[in-house]
């Protein structure tokens, strides 16, 4: 998708679809110079379109100088127009664009930035929304099967005042990079497990590094190296699978040089979770190709950080494996000596995510990250809290957790903190080892406590994305299936640390 800014004083209205915003209870704006205004106002009256935020109205025009079609999108009341209203209005507009199957649109920026939304934030939001709504799942439908190729949006022209063009343009290119990152995460999560094995995920990570212009280095530890290292928890999870596990490490060094602060992005990367010997039901297993959504988001995010050339060092770590039942599988009752040296009794082989993450977190710490954020489809029970709309946050350092919550709020991803009461820590205790891998109810909290033991004193936040990373319905900018949840929050967090003085 290409974005172009066009001077609104010399517009050229020839466009198959022209998008204009309209504040509540105001008349749709004239394009061009009043020719269409009367017709739009009449249609608005007939259709009862009053500019409610997110409402849309499509009008045909037959004036020689006018665009063929005008899509009017409601912006809500002028006084309360903010970033949320911007997102809502643009999402509605681009969903309409998608259903109209046009390849190019022109957006009149007037009204879409102002006191509460800067020029560049408008540009960024526009490009994010356009890119995310345009996404179509990487399906395997063929012409032979009667499938017609999707119409993708190729060109988005944005009409702005000459003075604002540069700032809008900057926002557009940032937004484009972010949308690409989210869509990469969606593609990876949507891929069938037969196609996205641990080593295929490593290949995808190498492609992210290759596209970074030399700012991201990729390292992949294969099975023999993991054995030498002592990543016994990751290896135990992989034992029942005929797919080789691996540990993927991506290191982003800013063009301006490494920073003292190194953000560690850790992503759960179970390419298929059958449950292992504690086998899931058919219903429970059906979508478990998505159990690497955390890893996918982490990959997308570090790619976006590189594209934005943010001045903050970032490391991404993915411990990739399948979880399968087999004669070689790890078993309930097994005791594992994790990379960190903590021993774990396997209580349930379906609680594999925390085992793989324990080794990933320890590895990230050894590689010098100064703070960790992990994204994981960790527990089914998080959905009692988050539904399928958002995610749960857990942390060991209140100030850092707050920053992560702020980052999520800034980019519009729903995230809420859950308490980690010390009294629940003992739920993971057992007579046999330092920890067991299933501490019972409340499942999401005891799982977080398990990870926290491995974070130790390193500032750490865990996002349980089992609800929001994959949906069985469309919602807002997200299609059915993988959502790429978390990419935008991670990018926002990296931006926050980019702005912060190095000594902090
Ligand atoms: N991958 C699942 C969690 C999950 C469930 C993600 C549904 C997305 C949708 C995880 O590995 C798991 O199986 N967790 C168990 C843990 C239990 C056995 C202690 C769970 O949440 O039931
Ligand atoms: Zn599981
Ligand atoms: Zn899992």
Residue range 298-324, pLDDT digits in tens: 999 999 999 999 999 999 999 999 999
Distance 291 CA to ligand 1 centre (A): 9
What CA–CA distance (Å, rounded) separates 181 from 185? 6
Contact 396, 459 (CB under 8 A): yes
Ligand nearest to the CA of 275: 2
The pLDDT-based confidence of 15 (bands split at 50, 70, 90) is confident
> Which of 29, 268, 290, 354 is labelled catalytic?
354
What CA–CA distance (Å, rounded) separates 75 from 81? 7
Assign residue 300 a region: left if phi > 0, alpha if psi is -120 to 50, beta otherwise? alpha
pTM of whole model > 0.95? yes
Distance 95 CA to ligand 3 centre (A): 32
CB of 483 within 6 A of ligand 1: the answer is no
Does residue 141 carry a catalytic annotation?
Answer: no
CB of 348 within 6 A of ligand 1: the answer is yes
Per-residue pLDDT tens for 27-62?
887 566 566 788 888 999 999 999 999 999 999 887
Cα separations (Å) of 12 from 34, 104, 172, 357, 359? 15, 14, 20, 54, 58
What pLDDT sits at residue 502? 59
> Which of 78, 222, 280, 383 is labelled catalytic?
280
The pLDDT-based confidence of 11 (bands split at 50, 70, 90) is low
What pLDDT sits at residue 504? 47
Cα-based angle 494, 445, 196 (whole degrees, multiple of 5): 60
Mutation test of ligand 1: which of 268, 347, 378 has the most ligand atoms closer than 8 Å to its C-beta?
378
Mutation test of ligand 1: which of 267, 277, 379 has the most ligand atoms closer than 8 Å to its C-beta?
379
What residues have CB less than 8 Å from 53, skipping those under 6 apart?
Answer: 24, 74, 75, 76, 85, 88, 89
3-class secondary structure, 391: strand
3-class secondary structure, 435: strand
Mutation test of ligand 1: which of 287, 330, 351 has the most ligand atoms closer than 8 Å to its C-beta?
351
Share of the chain above pLDDT 90, in %: 92
What pLDDT sits at residue 13? 65
- Here the tokens at position 322 are 């399948």
CB of 352 within 6 A of ligand 1: the answer is yes
Per-residue pLDDT tens for 65-102?
778 899 999 999 999 999 999 999 999 999 999 999 99
CATH number of 193-498: 3.40.50.720, 3.40.630.10, 3.90.420.10, 3.40.50.2300? 3.40.630.10
Q: How many CB atoms are closer than 10 A to CB 114?
A: 14
* Domain ranges (residues) in the chain: 2-179, 193-498
Contact 368, 262 (CB under 8 A): yes
Ligand 1 atom nearest residue 382's Cα: 21
Contact 263, 315 (CB under 8 A): yes
Distance 353 CA to ligand 3 centre (A): 5
N- to C-terminal Cα separation, the chain:
38
What pLDDT sits at residue 477? 98
Ligand nearest to the CA of 274: 2
3-class secondary structure, 103: coil
- For residue 500, the 8-state DSSP code is S
What pLDDT sits at residue 12? 64
Length of the chain measured in residues: 504
Per-residue pLDDT tens for 353-375?
999 999 999 999 999 999 999 99
Does residue 480 carry a catalytic annotation?
Answer: no
What pLDDT sits at residue 266? 99
* pLDDT higher than 60, residue 452: yes
Distance 135 CA to ligand 2 centre (A): 29
Distance 104 CA to ligand 2 centre (A): 44
2-179 CATH: 3.40.220.10
């Amino acid at each position: 998708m290409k974005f172009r800014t066009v001077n609104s004083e010399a517009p050229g209205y020839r466009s198959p679809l022209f998008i204009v915003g309209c504040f509540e209870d105001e008349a749709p704006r004239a394009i061009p110079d009043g020719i269409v205004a009367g017709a739009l106002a009449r249609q608005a009256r007939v259709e009862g379109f009053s500019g409610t935020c997110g409402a849309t109205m499509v009008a045909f025009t037959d004036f020689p100088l006018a665009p063929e079609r005008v899509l009017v999108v409601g912006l809500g009341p002028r006084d309360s127009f903010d970033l949320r209203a911007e997102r809502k209005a643009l999402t509605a507009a681009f969903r309409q664009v998608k259903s109209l199957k046009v390849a190019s649109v022109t957006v009149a920026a007037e009204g879409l930035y102002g006191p509460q939304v800067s020029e560049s934030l408008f540009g960024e939001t526009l490009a994010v929304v356009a890119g995310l709504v345009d996404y179509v799942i990487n399906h395997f439908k063929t012409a032979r099967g009667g499938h017609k190729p999707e119409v993708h949006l190729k060109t988005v022209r944005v009409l702005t005042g000459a003075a604002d063009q540069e700032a809008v343009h900057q926002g557009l290119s940032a937004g484009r990079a972010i949308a690409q990152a989210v869509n990469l995460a969606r593609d990876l999560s949507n891929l069938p497990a037969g196609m996205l094995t641990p080593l295929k995920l490593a290949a995808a990570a190498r492609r992210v590094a290759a596209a970074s212009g030399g700012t991201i280095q990729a390292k992949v530890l294969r099975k023999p190296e993991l054995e030498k290292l002592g990543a016994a928890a990751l290896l135990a999870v992989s034992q029942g699978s005929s797919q080789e596990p691996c540990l993927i490490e991506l290191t982003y060094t800013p063009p301006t040089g490494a920073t003292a602060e190194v953000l560690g992005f850790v992503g759960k990367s179970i390419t298929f979770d059958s449950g292992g010997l504690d086998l899931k039901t058919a219903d429970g297993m059906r979508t478990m190709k998505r159990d690497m959504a955390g890893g996918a988001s982490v990959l997308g995010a570090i790619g976006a950080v590189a594209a934005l050339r943010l001045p903050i060092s970032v490391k991404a770590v993915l411990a990739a494996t399948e979880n399968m039942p087999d004669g070689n599988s790890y078993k309930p009752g097994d005791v594992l000596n994790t990379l960190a040296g903590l021993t774990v009794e396997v209580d349930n082989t379906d609680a594999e995510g925390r085992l793989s993450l324990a080794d990933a977190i320890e590895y990230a710490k050894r590689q010098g990250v100064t703070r960790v954020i992990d994204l994981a489809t960790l527990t089914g029970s998080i959905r009692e809290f988050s539904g399928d709309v958002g995610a749960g946050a857990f942390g060991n350092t209140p100030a850092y957790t707050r920053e992560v919550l702020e980052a999520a709020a800034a980019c519009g991803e729903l995230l809420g903190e859950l308490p980690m009461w010390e009294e629940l820590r003992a739920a993971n205790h057992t007579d046999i080892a330092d920890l067991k891998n299933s501490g019972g109810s409340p499942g999401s909290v005891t799982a977080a406590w398990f990870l926290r033991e491995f974070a130790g004193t390193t500032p750490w936040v865990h996002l349980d994305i089992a609800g929001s990373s994959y949906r069985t319905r469309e919602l807002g900018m997200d299609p059915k299936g993988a959502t790429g949840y978390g990419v935008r929050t991670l990018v926002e967090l990296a931006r926050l640390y980019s702005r912060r003085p190095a000594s902090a």
